[in-house]
Structure 1
Amino acid sequence: MSSVFDNSVHSGFQVAAASVNSTSPTFQQTYAAVSGLAGLSWIEKLWASYYTWIGNDLFATGLLFFTLHEVMYFGRCLPWFIIDRIPYFNRWKIQDTKMPSNREQWECLKSVLTSHFLVEAFPIWFFHPLCQKIGISHDVPFPSLATMAWQIAMFFVLEDAWHYWTHRAMHYGSLYKMIHKQHHRYAAPFGLTAEYAHPVEVMVLGFGTVGIPIVFVLLTRNLHLFTVCVWIVGRLWQAVDAHSGYEFPWSLHHFLPFWAGAEHHDEHHHHFIGNYASSFRFWDYVLQTEAGVPAKQSRESKMRGAAEGKAKKNI
């Protein structure tokens, strides 16, 4: 029987598990046994029951991560697919003359599914041995909410930096023609296009999502697999929403001005250049790579002001 309990609850689980009168308990029986333990939240009990019931950590983690990725990605894409087909929402479509057709959605879906099964599935299914080797824990209880929050916030910041520089590099020369051009097939993005990309791009940009937590735990030995799950879900939803093609009055960047959002990334697809960051706006702002007409006019105004100021000094 696989154990996902640290020393504080391990003996208690053995007593609870002994009450299951079956050599092959059902998931419900396993959950009932785990539920007898004090000090665990319902999600921790569900997590522990799942790993204990599966009985094979490698398979359990692989199945968890692959299912989580598919459900959360396509589950987040589905509302945008529906919104695209409701005329009422057209008023908030950023490029309102370019609505994705059913054929475009279908072609994109087939490509994304192929990538998921042929490119991403293999490393996902063998992620657990890596977790064991580098010290990513899957025990219960989970870390505190405060610990998970600051770690996930840090991952967002670091991934944004990785995404900015690698994405910007892919817009140069042969890297764009051979790799990144595929992602720019749709000048007006829609939810499904978030992971519509060349396999090399999937791996390079994907390192920011998976590789950064790996480097973090190598340095700190302090990371839980549940935290990684929450981080991946957050990153997936951010990517899908950034490709949605809609700008609402209630969009997050109206309340958090440093957040990128769909308006930021849609300009990138529209102009094929600029706005390289994924989650935040500060890299593009500081390095003057913001896309779109207003950003261009702002840069030109600053340049004119600087030139006029320099000319006055020389008089």
Structure 2
Amino acid sequence: MLSMSQFDSKHLGSSSCIRAHKMWNKSMVLKFLRTKSSSDVLLQPTWDHIRLHHHSTVSSPFFPVLIAFCSYLSFSLPFAIIDLLGEKLPFFYRYKIQKERQPTVGLMATCLCQVVYKYVVFVIPAVVVNSFVMPSSPLHTRAPSVLELATGVLGCLLLFDFQYYLWHLVHHKNRYLYRSVHSYHHSYTAPFSWTTQHLSVVEMMTVGFWIQTNPLLLACHPLTGWTCIIIGTWMSVEGHVGYEMPWALNNIIPLGLYGGTPAHDMHHQKPHSNFAPFFSHWDKICGTAISVDRDTRLVQKGNF
């Protein structure tokens, strides 16, 4: 038989253990809630679905190329239709920068076929070789937080913007490099959506290398890298469509930080200016920026 004091001592000890256990559980829950970032609410279910149900697809070394090419087609096609209909769509036509230059079906088909040819003959074999040299890493189990994804995408875009600015500037300053590598992209004075990837083999492979390696350099999550490809492709297509829509990024991003369609359209008209693909700070810092006169559009003689 236990004495009253022994019973009370044992009972109190048991109660203390129970209370401690409950407090431990509560602290673990609070700790879990504190560490449960926005990715668990917004991105983790999406990432789990992608990772568990489409693992073989997203693990393929061809997946980033597939994203880039499908994004290029998806974003370019609506503007191609708008171009072909022209004045029949007055709502859009009024925003066209160079109204006197309208691409034809033949011109578009030639441009697109040349892009597809380079993907098949050069890009895909390069991916095959790269898959042996640098095999794909296992997929993360954790999704990035929304903040991680946003900062990663912005970081990749800013890095690419700097890389391409220097590359672009050098190729315009050096006559040999311009003629042998970059002049191919300037076949059209008035760009249209399909000209976004109308690049020489060297330029296409260089851009593809940066797109593939920049997320690795910045230690980005694969989901961040894929998102960057989609957003970067949209920004590139928008810069070549030849339409300055009210909802274009240069009209949304404040303080003139983004060049957009007007800046790049001006670059195709006056090639020794506006070298940055997206943002405007490098052109302003280096003195290569030319502002676009919205009332008077520069038109030069040349192919289309």
- Is the structural similarity TM-score above 0.5? yes
Contact 1:193/1:243 (<8 A) preserved: yes
Q: Which residue of 2 aligns with 1:242?
A: 239
Q: Does the C-alpha gap of structure 1 residues 210 and 65 become closer, same or farther in structure 2, counting only changes over 3 Å?
A: closer
Shift of 1:287: 1.1
Provide closer, same or farther for how the CA distance between residues 139 and 125 of structure 1 changes in structure 2, counting only shifts above 3 A.
farther
Structure 2 equivalent of residue 92 of structure 1: 95
Name the structure 2 match of 1:230. 227
Residue 50 of structure 2 corresponds to 46
Q: Which runs of 5+ in 1 are unaligned?
A: 1-38, 218-222, 296-315
TM-score, with normalisation over the residues of structure 1? Answer: 0.71
**How is 1:4-23 mapped onto 2 (pairs within 5 angstroms)?**
none
Is residue 185–residue 195 contact of structure 2 (8 Å, CA) maintained in 1? yes
Show structure 1 runs of 4+ deviating over 6 A: none
Post-superposition shift, 1:65? 2.5
Q: Deviations over 1:182-234 (max 9, x none)?
A: 100011001111111111111223333223223333xxxxx322211111111
How far 1:67 sits from its partner (Å)?
A: 2.5
> RMSD of aligned C-alpha atoms?
2.4
Identity %: 26
Amino acid at match of 1:49: H
Show CA shifts across 1:237-285 (max 9, x none).
1111111111122222122121121111000001122100011011111
Distance 1:259 1:130, change over 3 A: farther
Of the two, which has the highest radius of gyration? 2
Instruction: Tell me: CA distance 1:166–1:241, structure 2 relative to 1, closer, same or farther (3 Å).
Output: same
Q: Distance in 1 between matches of 2:95 and 2:132?
A: 46
Structure 2 spans left out of the alignment, 5+ residues: 1-42, 295-304
**Displacement of 1:181:** 0.7
C-alpha contact (below 8 Å) 1:65/1:124 kept by paired residues: no
Contact 2:274–2:290 (8 Å) recurs in 1: yes
For 2:7, the equivalent position in structure 1 comes to: none
Which residue number in structure 2 is paired with residue 160 of structure 1? 161
Q: Which amino acid aligns with 1:69?
A: A
Name the amino acid aligned to 2:163: W
- Kept after mapping to 2: 8 A contact 1:158/1:208: no
Q: Contact between 2:149 and 2:224, CA under 8 Å: does it hold in 1?
A: yes
Question: Which amino acid in the other structure matches residue 102 of structure 1?
Answer: V
Correspondence for 2:199:
197
Contact 1:76 1:240 in 2 (8 A): yes
Q: Secondary structure at the match of 1:170?
A: helix
* Contact 1:191–1:241 (CA under 8 A) maintained in structure 2: yes
Identify if the C-alpha distance between structure 1 residues 253 and 228 changes in structure 2 by more than 3 Å, giving closer, same or farther.
Answer: same
Residues 248 and 255 from structure 1, CA distance in 2 versus in 1: closer, same or farther, beyond 3 angstroms? same
Aligned in 2, Cα 1:168/1:239: closer, same or farther, shift over 3 Å? Answer: same
Partner of 1:258: 257
- Structure 2 vs 1, CA of residues 120 and 167 (structure 1 numbering), >3 Å: closer, same or farther? same
Q: Larger RCO: Structure 1 or Structure 2 (Cα < 8 Å, ≥ 6 residues apart)?
A: 2
Check the 8 A contact 1:195/1:202 in 2, yes or no.
yes
The 1:234/1:74 distance shift into structure 2, 3 A limit, reads: same
Asked if the contact 1:48–1:140 (Cα under 8 Å) also holds between the matched residues in 2, the reply is no
Other structure's SS at 1:229 match: helix
Q: Matches of 2:155 and 2:292 in 1, distance apart?
A: 32
Aligned residue pair count: 245
User: Relative to 1, partners in 2 of residues 1:158 and 1:40: Cα closer, same or farther, differing over 3 Å?
Assistant: closer
Normalised TM-score (structure 2): 0.74
* Corresponding position of 1:110: 113
Query: Alpha-carbon deviations, 1:38-84, whole Å to 9, x = none?
Result: x9514421332111xx4xx8x94234223322211101111111111
Q: Which amino acid aligns with 1:251?
A: A
